[in-house]
Structure 1
Amino acid sequence: MTFIKTTEQDSNYNHLEKMSVKEVLKNINKEDKTVPLAVEKSLPQIEKLTNSIVSSLKKGGRLFYLGAGTSGRLGVVDASECPPTFGVSYDLVVGIIAGGDVAIRKAVEFAEDSKLQGWQDLQEHKITNKDIVVGIAASGTTPYVIAALEKCNENNIATGCITCNKNSPLAKVSNFPVEVVVGSEFVTGSSRMKAGTAQKLVLNMLSTTTMIQLGKVKGNKMVDMQLSNNKLVERGQKMLASELNIDLQKAAALLEEFGNVRNAIKNYTK
């Protein structure tokens, strides 16, 4: 079967430079509306990958996201938000981007083309077969990601991927591929748009569902969140006031005493 990158196909729109601001915005929004529907079609694949992630983490493993460019940045963002949101350690969910941290802000030329660096980057974290690695690449053809997942497979490390093309080389080397086919972009080939949005949605689903399954949410509240700024302290106080039916002053005192929402609820006595 011939592999065709639908993410590189011509836009459904032409002469973009002749459109008014209103027309551009309206058409981008029209395209964006199709993304959640594409994600919905991939839910069975997302479920399989999530179950594998949960299983790995419950056994003491870690979750690694590996990508280049926009895909790598999205993985880094999702990983970096897990500790403050769910109170987990910074090495439980790790985002790795081709070219290193400097590539988060500035493109590093040809970083994604290395077939050796991805595996080397993973080895710096002393990766083991308890861990799981999710490669992220809209095209599904990024050598940095594909080669790393191939090495993971050789070492019995579970692999998954998030890509936006069907039957890509990346999906073929993944134990648990997620393929969200969003079609051509508004600006031809600009996969930071619909493809990036799709990847962000899937990453939200993977990490949030995993953390819920690991017991990091109570009811619908993130009771293990880090109280790292005034907004989060206030949120914690409101959670306690609602959960324990107490006033905000009492909630503030409890939060100060026990350090986080979960401990305050656990240790509260009337």
Structure 2
Amino acid sequence: MPELPEVETTRRSFAERIEGATVRQVRLGKPLRWPLGCPPEALVAQTVGSASRRGKYLWLPLERGGLLMHLGMSGSLAFSEVPVSPPGAHDHFDLVTSRGTLRLTDPRRFGAVVWSPALDDGPAAKLLATLGLEPFDPAFDGGHLHRALRGRRVAIKQALLAGDVVVGAGNIYACEALFEARIHPRTAAGRVSRARCERLATAIRRILAQALELGGSTLRDFRDAHGMAGSFQQHAAVYGRQGEPCLVCGTPVRRIVQAQRSTFFCAHCQRR
């Protein structure tokens, strides 16, 4: 599933190229997770603004409202400044503009493109209401993390994945951040001390910053709007390294399953 680094990498790869363009046509394919919410022709002739991101959502403002986009489990956006090929079976949305075509491809159709009157109104406001802080927000620190986790019995790994404390710590990045902070993934979230929360907040920011520099992670089919793959997975300390020696102590990396997601950790470095 594309996480914050992959979504932000995608945004950066097309935002400047489409800004200021005029919408000429909107093509819908098979139904996605949620309906568009307006007649496609209502978007025609509007000017595209500056694309932004909130969590794993992309916001593409128009003169009247905007489009909230989500890549779902396996979706990707591609922007082409030359005429695109006819849509294939998995191409479900084309925004044809005066500067090129933005196309959403999603084999599993869990992604979405939803019109909203504003980012803080309508469907967008409802979908974004439960999101936690952005990891690079100055307000996100150990103190915030410690307060938000207080009293929670759920495992710290699952608390990070929930996204209501901090966004962006998806499965790969949560595993890596917990390893860097030396916290066992099964530790009850409410038992993580203030000092360890400080280490964890720092680790989350550093891991996500590194992932952004490397264009995110490509485990199967993620590509940015240029068609480029990410390479963070090649630098992972524990994720995907089951049975291999820990890079710190040499203990074999372990894999467990939490909430149907694979978790990788070092039992020696990350003691409970």
* TM-score of the aligned structures, taking structure 1 as reference length: 0.25
Higher share in strand: 2
Which structure carries more relative contact order (alpha carbon 8 Å, separation 6+)? Answer: 1
* TM-score of the aligned structures, taking structure 2 as reference length: 0.25
Higher share in helix: 1
